[in-house]
Structure 1
Amino acid sequence: MDLDLRKVRYFVAVAERRHFGRAAAALHIAQPALSRQIRALEQDLGTPLLVRDSHGVALTDAGRQLLDDAGPLLASADAVRRRVAVAARGSRRLTVGFRAGIAVTPAVRLFAERHPDVLVDVQRIDGDDQATRLLDGRIDVGYVRLPIDEAGLRVSPLFTEPRVAVLPAGHRLAGKDQITEADLGGEALVWPPDAGPPPTTRPHPDSGYLVRGVDETLEHVAAGRGISFLARSATVFYAHPEVSFVPIPDLAPDQVCLAVPAARTSPVVDDFLAAARATAYVTAECGNATMWPTSSHQ
């Protein structure tokens, strides 16, 4: 029996909230109807997915597995609907996402020479939505920064960028030609939760300011709430009068990749990827980055 995506969406609503009543309210359906749909899904799959207990709802092992798999599955279905809608309008559009500090113009220009009939839209993306936007079809190609959840994606390396320390203007090390990780031992950190572990292994125990994006990072650092680290392109594309950028060569570099949905096959997308690779050196130079040999990413 084919998997009913509507039932899967209902299951996800319950599994995420661990409560049938709250899930039914969010879905705008009656709770008994929701319960029937979940029972029907369990019958389709031949296994219990949820167990009611005194605290609400618990997931079985099968339920946890379905919840893990449901995200990419539902996002892929959404992407199909978006692409069909675009095709029905008769328009040819390619949407390219990019992280802050990455210049996509060189690739867009080269692609336009080969495909003047395709409109290329560009959208800035953040670390916490770069995979989601690719999987649900809001963007077709992404210039992403690692780490990224690669499930359902094809990710290929493009280049690396050295990192800089982001310091308050009055910091004891502001204005130095370069510093080392050891110089910053014990400093409080301002760090995006989606960016993986911070590149320094010795943060102050009181670190805890979580930020989203470069702009928030700069504001928190300027306010003296801690230091941070950014790719060197931040010094080209961003500025703040109360912040100092200082090179820190001994940190692992920031890694920039191209990403597309694994299930997506399109000559137009492939041509944009080719244009992005052909112009990678120019893109890297825009942010003072360094080309990354393809063998360095597995």
Structure 2
Amino acid sequence: MTGSEATPSFRLAYVPGVTPTKWVRIWNERLPDIPLTLVAVSDAEAFDVLRGGDADAGFVRLPVDRADLSAIPLYTETTVVVVPKDHVVAAVEEVSAEDLADETVLHPLDDTLDWERPPGQPAFERPATTADAIELVAAGIGLLVVPQSLARLHHRKDLTYRPVTGTPESRVALSWPQDRTTDLVEDFIGIVRGRTVNSSRGRAQTPAKTKAEPKAKRPDASAARRKPTAGKPAAGKSAGKSARTGSGSGGSQGGAKRGKPRRRS
């Protein structure tokens, strides 16, 4: 089967913590004949997947190398600290980076926040992954500062999290190779940006509406009920004899009324 005969499809990569469900649902509603395949990737491998052609577009975390990739920033994630449920931090609604100064804060190798080192005291060893760091938090070895989406992804009943201020924030973006901005990529960009099906940007999936023809004027119904004006016969009646005089409606001398004859002197 040649490339032109192949059934079109769309491959969407996404990093941990991102939930593309809403956009996938809209895609399936608008383009039911073009299957969308989800490709789960790590933050570290996301850009190689896009450059290698293993995905048409992907949800990634910034920064993005704009030399060969395009990106549309979508939203900023809340940064939280993951702690055991019986930890003192669990008793407050929010903490600052300074509040963690005396705590051991884990720094996994796949950390997604743009900082050299987290606040607090460093652990003896850096965990390989965020999942490993979560296990260490549950074991009481330290705390973990991550985007809220990752705290939800690795939720455990014995752990909780609280927003933390004074730390970097993770930003999620839609990215794709600049030299492969295909029609399907444009379709997905339109969905992510909330464009309607018939938007001027992107391809419309429904026939364009034609300009409506002007409606013919309806006859004035009141005209049919209007009474004839004085001196004019009603429609359908003869202009012949008058009902009273029996003479023509014109009469002599332009229809002037007859007066009484004058007396002779």
Contact 2:82 2:151 in 1 (8 A): no
Partner of 1:211: 128
Partner of 1:260: 176
Q: Distance in 1 between matches of 2:64 and 2:103?
A: 26
Deviation at 1:121, TM superposition (A): 0.8
Question: Which runs of no fewer than 5 residues in structure 1 stay unpaired?
Answer: 1-84, 280-298
Higher helix share: 1
Moved beyond 6 Å, runs of 4+: none
What are the Cα deviations for residues 9-54 of structure 1, in whole angstroms up to 9, with x where unaligned? Answer: xxxxxxxxxxxxxxxxxxxxxxxxxxxxxxxxxxxxxxxxxxxxxx
SS of the residue corresponding to residue 100 of structure 1 reads coil
Partner of 1:29: none
Matched, 1:167 2:74: no
Rg larger for: 2
Q: How does 1:191-202 map to 2 (within 5 A)?
A: 191-194=107-110, 195=112, 197-198=114-115, 202=119
Contact 2:133 2:144 in 1 (8 A): yes
Contact 1:142 1:260 in 2 (8 A): yes
Partner of 1:154: 70
Q: How does 1:39-78 map to 2 (within 5 A)?
A: none
SS of the residue corresponding to residue 3 of structure 2 reads helix
- Paired residue type of 2:62: L
Number of residue equivalences: 194
TM superposition score normalised by structure 2? 0.64
RMSD of Structure 2 on Structure 1 (CA)? 2.6
Partner of 1:3: none
Q: How does 1:15-164 map to 2 (within 5 A)?
A: 87=3, 90-164=6-80
Matched, 1:270 2:166: no
Q: Distance in 2 between matches of 1:278 and 1:175?
A: 39
Q: Structure 1 residues 186 and 134, CA, compared in 2 at 3 Å: closer, same or farther?
A: farther
Amino-acid identity (%): 26
Partner of 1:223: 139
Deviation at 1:239, TM superposition (A): 1.5
Question: Which runs of no fewer than 5 residues in structure 2 stay unpaired?
Answer: 196-265
- Paired residue type of 1:118: I
Q: Distance in 1 between matches of 2:170 and 2:31?
A: 31
Deviation at 1:89, TM superposition (A): 6.7
Contact 2:60 2:174 in 1 (8 A): yes
